[in-house]
Structure 1
Amino acid sequence: MSSATADRRRADPARARERMLVMLALPALLLLGVIFIWPLLRLLSMSVADGTLDQFEKAALDDLYVMVLYGSMEIAVLVTVICLALAYPVAAWLAQAGRTGFILGMFFLLLPFWTSILVRTYAWMVLLGRNGVINRTLRDWGLIEFPLPLLHNLTGVLIGIVHVMLPYMVIPIYAALLRIDPDLRRAAEGLGAPAWRAFLRVTLPLSLPGVFAGCALVFVITLGFFITPALLGGGQVMMIAMLIEQQVREFLDWNFAAALATVLLAATLVIYAALAKLTGGQGHGAR
């Protein structure tokens, strides 16, 4: 038997398995096409329904809309930085905690997922208001004389979004830390490196894929936030999703709302692609 014939016989079962997997995935792909791709195409067609790019020109050149998009990105960056600062120590503790500590930590970390985002947001309104739990407690303790402005401003929006997004940052970092061989850190410390240097030279570089993955996830999701900034911002903090909803609800301008949504989608994809490239580069570097 020739080597070419043997190769073909070995390839036939592989092709059959590949065809079977494609057939099994076909219903799910069709469902995704109906649920996601068709509405997306409809959105794109609405944005150019008048046959021109005037809606995109308005979204790209009008100072108001540019400022809102820039403000949304600024909030997304702040949320990402705050989540990273809070999530890394939590993820490091979870990676080293025992079974009981890990279960308790994951329980409290994932608890927000079991509560409606609307309920969570109203809970923060009760906590952060001028006569809310936090201000009343601080006044009773004599720490403040006048209520702190924690609601209907950027501070309240950041607190609410960080509370929602923190698990999305912790879990990728935790997964990356879990894959690091602890013997590497012990070897560095055994060679005379203090704990902080072992962290900076060994643990941190190897955990960067998880850091970049968490940052990409938090940043992209935060860009499209609506309920939390709408309620905690009190109309004082405008994000792009709120602006899109306003165009539909108040002005019935579906075409311009579609153009704004398309701009947001394009910006999100570009940023995600850039972060994914950084994540891939860091992942290869870690290996």
Structure 2
Amino acid sequence: MIAALGNRLGAAKLDRLILLGPPLAFILLLFLVPLAQVIWGSFFTPGFTMAHYARIWNTPVYLQVFWRTLYVAFCTTGICVLLGYAAAMFLAQCGPRMRQYLMLCVVIPFFLSMLIRNYIWMALLQRSGLINRYLLEWGVIDKPLALMYNEFGMLVTMANMLLPYTIFPILSSLLAIPPELHNASASLGANRLRSFFRITLPLSMPGVAAGGLLVFIVALGFFITPALVGGPKQMMISNLIDFNVREVLNWPFAFALANVLLWGTLVIYYFHVRLVEGRGTRAGMP
């Protein structure tokens, strides 16, 4: 009997290995190997050197680009979390059929290329675009507003593209809250605002944290929107890496920039996980 059980366990391990083998090989060949080359190329050119990392630290313009990238990512995350929470609350209060139709409207923009969506926003935000045209016709403004090639236009466009990444995790958390909790809160005399801050918001924080982290990580690596809508003055790390790769052909320095962005993202992710685990432990979650 023990031998039969061992054979079953061995067969189960073999089945898992067969199923996981191709995905693991794909990740190893197309992600880990290039990543190792990027890390190696930033330190060995061909001999060992820290000059590229020292250049990042000692050049104020590169540090400014890093800070701008973090600032834009944080602002985009804040906008998406606020708007995404409001949209998720509305979807959670809708009926199942209506919710399906509205969620389809949220998903449909993903069917369009990101480049096309950027061009659509450029048509809306430029000085002769639809927004300025209608505002001028209605007499709201006397001259076109500068809505593009600045931080405002970049944040609006990035928030629009990344908003669904916060709606779905928050919606899942809201739908997982038992309705009995709200009924019990109301029976104890709590109004809707108090019930929201004492029940809904704390229980939906895992979805907020997941959606916010996803938006923040994606926003750190945004390339097309800063290049098209933001303009040269709103350069982010991805644009700086592209400039060093295609324009000046300084691949080792581009590798160093990419590594700093990667390890910075991993550090932020680590603290995010520790924070979420700490909140779960204090709340008595397993």
> Same fold per TM (> 0.5)?
yes
Q: Specify which of 43, 49, 64 is matched with residue 38 of structure 2.
A: 43
| Root-mean-square deviation (Å) | 1.6
Find the residue that maps to 1:236 and give its secondary structure: helix
Matches within 5 A, 1:16-31: 16-31=11-26
Cα distance in 1 between the residues matched to 2:181 and 2:278: 21
Instruction: Say yes or no: does 1:135 pair with 2:148.
Output: no
- The corresponding residue for 2:56 is 59
- 8 A Cα contact 1:79 1:219, kept in partner: yes
Counterpart for residue 179 of structure 2? 182
Match of 1:218? 215
1:254-273 alignment, distance < 5 Å: 254-273=251-270
> Which residue is 1:99 aligned to?
96
Whole-angstrom CA distance in 2 between matches of 1:208 and 1:11: 43
- Asked if 1:247 is matched to 2:244, the reply is yes
Unpaired runs of 5+ in structure 2? none
Correspondence for 1:119: 116
Give the SS at the match of 2:140: coil
Query: TM-score, normalised to structure 2's length?
Result: 0.94
**C-alpha displacement at 1:217, in angstroms?**
0.5
Q: Which runs of 5 or more structure 1 residues have no equivalent in the other structure? A: none
How far does the alpha carbon of each residue in 1:164-191 deviate from its partner, in whole angstroms, 9 at most, with x for none? 1000011111111111111111111111
**Do the aligned partners of 1:208 and 1:283 also contact (CA within 8 Å) in 2?**
no
Write the deviation string for residues 220-254 of structure 1: whole angstroms up to 9, x where unpaired. Answer: 11000000110001212010000010111111100
Q: TM-score, normalised by structure 1?
A: 0.94
Q: How many residues align?
A: 282
1:143-184 alpha-carbon deviations (Å, 9 max, x no partner): 111211110000010011001100001111111111111111
Q: Which residue of 2 aligns with 1:207?
A: 204
Shift of 1:283: 4.2
Contact 1:208-1:282 within 8 A present in 2 as well: no
Partner amino acid, structure 1, of 2:63: V
Query: Which letter maps to 2:200?
Result: T
Q: Which runs of 4+ in 1 moved over 6 A?
A: none
Partner of 2:77: 80
Structure 2 counterpart of 1:222, one-letter code: A
- 1:58, CA displacement in angstroms? 1.0
